Structure 1
Amino acid sequence: MNSKNLRPLLIILSIIGTVFYAQTAFSFWVWTPETNKWVNPKYSVKETPAEQLQLGIDLFESKEYKESIKEFKKLLKHYPRAREAPEAQFYIGKCFENQEEPFKAFKQYQKVVEKYPFSELAGEIVQRQYDLGIKLLDGQTQRSSILTTLAGNNYDVIEIFKAVIKNAPYGDLAAPSQYKIGLYLLEHNLFQEARDEFEKVLNDYPNSEWIKAAKYQIAITDSKRSTTAQYDQK
């Protein structure tokens, strides 16, 4: 085929490609008479934060967690000061929690505490964070000692319980959180560190119901530390 015959073919192919690209590009855009604009539903946001929040909740209740997170993030981006913003951030945490990602859930819940310190959700968030810490702690306890040695320690557990203490230092969950930190360290044979944390239960929460348990664990810690020292000397 000579160049004269090839040129019309190239022009036709170019036109077809342009039309196809235009159709593909505009297929993602929708004309809205209310605003007289083309909008992409993927990036569009509802006219009010309440409507945007409800959209995210509807997706959450349908267990479409990834899409739900996207809609809540839109609310936070476009309506950062709206009264619905703390709840949107809270639901992002719930999405990760329902997807069995406890540490990511903890991080998202913590954002509510840090960005919206006067939110009415604070009490529920502290409880959820504590429950997530227990879940991670139980998972660590169930791991074999060999697996723990290979994988190393997971200090996410400590970070969560410390956050619970910081978020509600005078709450009912502060003392047990402090105790759980010591328990985690003891289970990983960090005897001195564990003892220090159990001592904090005695010093910081002298009237707590966890005093007796902390004293018992201190005795266990001292016993194990002594046994380990004797073994190392042999």
Structure 2
Amino acid sequence: MAISNNRMHPLKYLLLVLCFILVTSLQAALSLKPSDWFKNNELEELKAFNAATQAEEGEAVALIEQGKTKLENGSRRSAERIFKKVTKKYPTTIAAGESLYLRGKIKMANAQWIKAFDLLQIIIEEHPEYPKFDQVIAAQFECATVVMEGARSRLFGIIPTFKQETQSILQFERIVRNAPYGDYAPLALMNIALVAQKLKQTELSIDALDRLINFYPQSTLAPDAYFNLAETFADLVQSYEHDQGATRKSISYYEDFIALFPQSDNIGIVEARLTEMENSLALSRLHLGDFYYRYRNNNTAALVFYNEAITIAPQSDAAAEATLRIARIEEGIRPAKGARLLRTLLFAN
């Protein structure tokens, strides 16, 4: 008689424990805020370890005030040198975050957009508790937008460099990661799509729009994202004979737009584009049916495609032609070939 053993095998138990530890670690690691990677007591210990002394804080604040005075008097270079000194000499002070922010603003004023963005990014990564987080994200978005629009950074604040639209894509991606729940995230994704489309990077554009509608369905940009996705796939359709996968996806997004945003001002345009795509797909089904009817003598397959053409766009010319083909098959009329086909074409009328 077999003895039932309900005890868990030691190896299975060990694997279960390891999985639990791994999942717990991943949950912490997936947090976008560095301060969330530690338990409360660990975070306090880390802060205490990295905290500047009161004297250092005072010296850093005094330098910040000196820099602001220089800035107010129009001396950007002198102000930036002072702020840079704060960052270098007192990196763990609260004032260090402010010095980076002010340096970033100076770079923006000098049209050094990429350098400005990078300085602001240091705040996000090294000073997560900086109180002006929203202003930092807004400034980063401004930098990325200006770069996207073709503005050129200036070397040494004077010499214009080349356009760097590709760089704006990376910057917008950073913004989405920095503040995924902020107001700028869907805007950043839309801008990624627009730049990618301009640079003929279709897959990247589709990916950005897809993330926008999936992660931010309540955004005011969602209707535009659906429309742009549908248009992007429609543009991929070279003819009724090719890219039918793109045609179906385009139809799907147009249908989603109509269902989700029936009050949109673009509803008429979308309905017209949907009809156009449906007609294209129906025509492709008609020609596939003709292939099996005329060249493979396979009426069963032909009927499947003819019926698909009618179902997809019942009011289209393709549907009317498909209906005639079905009637011929049901009447037992064989397709015209060779000389017979030529006579049919010459004396059709």
Q: TM-score, normalised by structure 1?
A: 0.68
Deviations 1:18-50 (A, max 9, x none): xxxxxxxxxxxxxxxxxxxxxxxxxxxxx8212
Match status 1:206 vs 2:217: yes
**What residue is the counterpart of 1:120 in the other structure?**
131
- For residues 227 and 181 of structure 1, the distance between their equivalents in structure 2, rounded to whole angstroms, comes to 25
Give secondary structure in 2 for the equivalent of 1:226.
coil
Match status 1:107 vs 2:107: no
Deviations 1:114-172 (A, max 9, x none): 110011011100011112222122227xxxxxxxxxx7863210121111111111111
Match status 1:194 vs 2:205: yes
Deviations 1:170-228 (A, max 9, x none): 11111111111111101111122211211111111122111100111112212332249
Match status 1:90 vs 2:101: yes
Aligned-pair Cα RMSD in Å: 2.4
Of 137, 161, 174 in structure 1, the residue corresponding to residue 172 of structure 2 is: 161
**Contiguous gaps of at least 5 residues in structure 2:** 1-57, 152-161, 242-349
* Amino acid aligned to 2:93: A
Give secondary structure in 2 for the equivalent of 1:139.
coil
* Amino acid aligned to 2:172: F
Instruction: Name the larger-Rg structure.
Output: 2
* Amino acid aligned to 1:98: A
Match status 1:77 vs 2:88: yes
CA contact (8 A) 2:100 2:123 kept: yes
- For residues 97 and 224 of structure 2, the distance between their equivalents in structure 1, rounded to whole angstroms, comes to 37
**What residue is the counterpart of 1:139 in the other structure?**
150
CA contact (8 A) 1:178 1:198 kept: yes
* Amino acid aligned to 1:94: K
**What residue is the counterpart of 2:194 in the other structure?**
183
CA contact (8 A) 2:149 2:165 kept: no
CA contact (8 A) 2:64 2:86 kept: yes
- For residues 138 and 192 of structure 1, the distance between their equivalents in structure 2, rounded to whole angstroms, comes to 21
- For residues 142 and 191 of structure 2, the distance between their equivalents in structure 1, rounded to whole angstroms, comes to 12
CA contact (8 A) 2:190 2:225 kept: yes
CA contact (8 A) 1:89 1:108 kept: yes
Higher relative contact order (CA 8 A, sep 6+): 1
Give secondary structure in 2 for the equivalent of 1:48.
helix
| Distance verdict in 2 for CA 1:54–1:153, change over 3 Å | closer
- For residues 66 and 223 of structure 1, the distance between their equivalents in structure 2, rounded to whole angstroms, comes to 52
- For residues 125 and 171 of structure 1, the distance between their equivalents in structure 2, rounded to whole angstroms, comes to 12
Of 64, 69, 75 in structure 2, the residue corresponding to residue 64 of structure 1 is: 75
Structure 1 runs of 4+ off > 4 angstroms? none
**What residue is the counterpart of 1:145 in the other structure?**
none
**What residue is the counterpart of 2:60 in the other structure?**
49
- For residues 55 and 152 of structure 1, the distance between their equivalents in structure 2, rounded to whole angstroms, comes to 35
- For residues 106 and 164 of structure 2, the distance between their equivalents in structure 1, rounded to whole angstroms, comes to 26
Of all paired residues, the percent bearing the same amino acid is 23
- For residues 189 and 78 of structure 1, the distance between their equivalents in structure 2, rounded to whole angstroms, comes to 46
- For residues 50 and 64 of structure 1, the distance between their equivalents in structure 2, rounded to whole angstroms, comes to 19
Of 207, 215, 219 in structure 1, the residue corresponding to residue 230 of structure 2 is: 219
CA contact (8 A) 1:96 1:102 kept: yes
| Distance verdict in 2 for CA 1:172–1:125, change over 3 Å | same
Aligned residues: 175
Give secondary structure in 2 for the equivalent of 1:80.
coil
Give secondary structure in 2 for the equivalent of 1:155.
helix
